[in-house]
Amino acid sequence: MSAPLPIPKLELRGVSKTFGGRKILDCVDISVERGRSLVIIGASGQGKSVTLKIAVGLMRPDKGQVFMDGEDMTELRTAERSRLHGRLGMLFQGAALFDSLKVWQNVAFRLINADKVPRKEARERAIEAIARVGLPRDVADRFPSELSGGMQKRVGLARAVVAHPDILFFDEPTTGLDPITSDVINDLIIEEVKRLGCTAVSITHDMNSARRIGDEIAMLHGGKIVWRGPAKTIDETDNPYVLQFINGRAHGPITCDA
Amino acid sequence: MSAVRAIGASTLDLLQSAGRLAIFAVQGVAAMFAPPFFGRQLFRQFYSIGFYSLPVVGLTAVFTGAALALNIYTGGARFNAEQIMPQIVALGITRELGPVLAALMLAGRVSAAIAAEIGAMRATEQIDALQTLSTDPYRYLIAPRLTAGIVTMPLLTLAGDIIGVAGGWLVAVATLRFNSDLYIRNTWSFLQSWDVISGLIKGCVFGFIIALMGCYHGFNSSGGARGVGRSTTNAVVSAAILVFACDYVLTSFMR
């Protein structure tokens, strides 16, 4: 966990968060360099989602700071933050598509509502993005509820990348998908992150996905980062937490109380 | 000691919720006046809050007007004052029953719908998604609903007033042998514009309360499907109670 010399794209410094007397995050430090992909792994209830929400700005930490491009955005209000949000994209676990809007309106949402792109042009760009995630064009005029879970994930990805963000967040991108669809989503994530040349931060408990999409992996347990290293080296570590997690054993230092 | 502690805790709880609601209301109202505005959303809300509530408000008003006419006729007959019935019906409808009953029906129809929709959006992370798409949820979700509530509720009240008075007229002419012309002339010459306007002002306030309660409870809903159910119930109950409380306060100021 050495401090890199160039300004990291995203940095969490000493972040703590308590819910109902239970300490979810205990002084967590994470930084991601520009253009790198970090995957945070960990068992359920160990604070992965909270870490991601704090990094994105959807939740405020009790203590600690969040930096993006060296700018402190911990205290920024929604309105000011949206300027920074303009440069970030997020794929939600359940895709979080707006069910009252058609697929293309979902994908074009930011273009139309925040960037004030004319509707016709926004629609064209949305359809282009829909095609890039491997969906047929006629999906554009359907409603999200008419799509399968995998298709919804693809639309969510198209929505996250359509405005060319320079940092992307993925919340459990493969949870609830079959192995083949998971692999397709992993491929698409790698492809899009590479195409945009952007930074990526993901949380997952799917080791397959973590190995595929991560340059680096960090493991969160008991509100702390217990291991961090290049994705390739995760099979060589003797860290007992990581060993137990990647081998999926019921017995070890991690007890299943969550 | 524990009784004192319980009273203290619940008092703090109440004040906390009141404070949260006040902050939410201020942020919602501020968003109504700060660009960007979302015209399509506003139009959609005018339609679903205003237009689609017309049948409910109309039916409530016509039956209430009719029942009121019968009751006042019966009561008036006890001291030979049946002939004053049109005036009392008009006054009762425009000043009190028009706005209050329309508001109560909308507390059920609109508060519940808003709380359920926004609550479901919260549960499925759609509100978080809005933020990551550089869109302020207060401007996109809350402001259009508050505006639509404030603008459409007085219009619905006015419609309710007319239909309610018509309900009274219908009963009077059809079953109580009133003269139709006389009934309308009595109503029209007796009513003062303040009777109607004060009712419409109530409508504005009630419209705000109804939309606000739906938005607030939906926005702060938590705990999945059960949470959405709970927030819908809370929205309807609190909207209805606040409508009655505000009705008394407003009436005492606008006599």
Give chain A positions within 8 Å (CB) of B35.
none
Round to whole Å and give the CA distance between A253 and A46.
14
B83 DSSP assignment: G
Average pLDDT, whole number, for chain A? 88
Residue A20 has pLDDT above 90, yes or no: no
User: Contact, A99 vs A144, CB < 8 A?
Assistant: yes
Give chain B positions within 8 Å (CB) of A159.
133
Q: Would you state the structure tokens that stand for residue B44, as one six-digit string?
A: 């959609």
Q: What pLDDT does A85 receive?
A: 60
* A71-72/A63-68 β-pairing: antiparallel
Query: HEC profile for chain A?
Result: CCCCCCCCCEEEEEEEEEECCEEEEEEEEEEECCCCEEEEECCCCCCHHHHHHHHHCCCCCCEEEEEECCEECCCCCHHHHHHHHCCEEEECCCCCCCCCCCHHHHHCHHHHHCCCCCHHHHHHHHHHHHHHCCCCHHHHHCCHHHCCHHHHHHHHHHHHHCCCCCEEEEECCCCCCCHHHHHHHHHHHHHHHHHHCCEEEEEECCHHHHHHHCCEEEEEECCEEEEEEEHHHHHCCCCHHHHHHHHCCCCCCCCCCC
User: Contact, A89 vs A169, CB < 8 A?
Assistant: yes
Q: Does B38 reach chain A within 8 Å, measured CB to CB?
A: yes
Say how far residue A141 (Cα) sits from the centre of its chain.
Answer: 27
Round to whole Å and give the CA distance between B233 and A113.
32
How many other CB atoms are found less than 10 A from the CB of residue B175?
12
In this complex, the residue of B128, B135, B138 whose CB is nearest that of residue A96 is: B128
B133 and A159 within 8 Å at the Cβ level: the answer is: yes
Q: Is B221 helix (H, G, I), strand (E, B) or coil?
A: coil
Q: Higher model confidence: residue A120 or residue A256?
A: A120
Helix (H) or strand (E) holding B178: none
Q: ipTM value of the model?
A: 0.89
What sign does the dihedral A228-A196-B124-A137 (CA atoms) show? negative
Residue the block writes with tokens 């060296």: A70
Round to whole Å and give the CA distance between A197 and B124.
29
Residue A110 has pLDDT above 70, yes or no: yes
Q: What pLDDT does A77 receive?
A: 63
Q: Is B52 helix (H, G, I), strand (E, B) or coil?
A: helix
A55: nearest CA partner in chain B: B132
How many other CB atoms are found less than 10 A from the CB of residue A63?
14
B38-79 pLDDT, tens digit each = 999 999 999 999 999 999 999 999 999 999 999 999 999 999
Give chain A positions within 8 Å (CB) of B135.
82, 109-110, 113-114
Task: Please give, rounded to a whole number of angstroms, the shortest distance from the CA of B39 to a CA of chain A.
Answer: 11
Task: Please give, rounded to a whole number of angstroms, the shortest distance from the CA of A182 to a CA of chain B.
Answer: 21
A113 and B140 within 8 Å at the Cβ level: the answer is: yes
Q: Does B36 reach chain A within 8 Å, measured CB to CB?
A: yes
Lowest mean pLDDT among A45-49, A89-93, B191-195: A45-49
Its pTM stands at: 0.91
Residue A177 has pLDDT above 90, yes or no: no
Q: Which of residues 138-177 of B touch A (CB under 8 A)?
A: 138, 140
Give chain B positions within 8 Å (CB) of A113.
36, 38, 133-135, 140
Round to whole Å and give the CA distance between B162 and B156.
10
Question: Chains A, B: CB contacts under 8 A, how many?
Answer: 63
A110 and B126 within 8 Å at the Cβ level: the answer is: no
Q: What pLDDT does A82 receive?
A: 62
Mean pLDDT of A53-80: 84
Q: What pLDDT does A258 receive?
A: 47
Q: Is B197 helix (H, G, I), strand (E, B) or coil?
A: helix
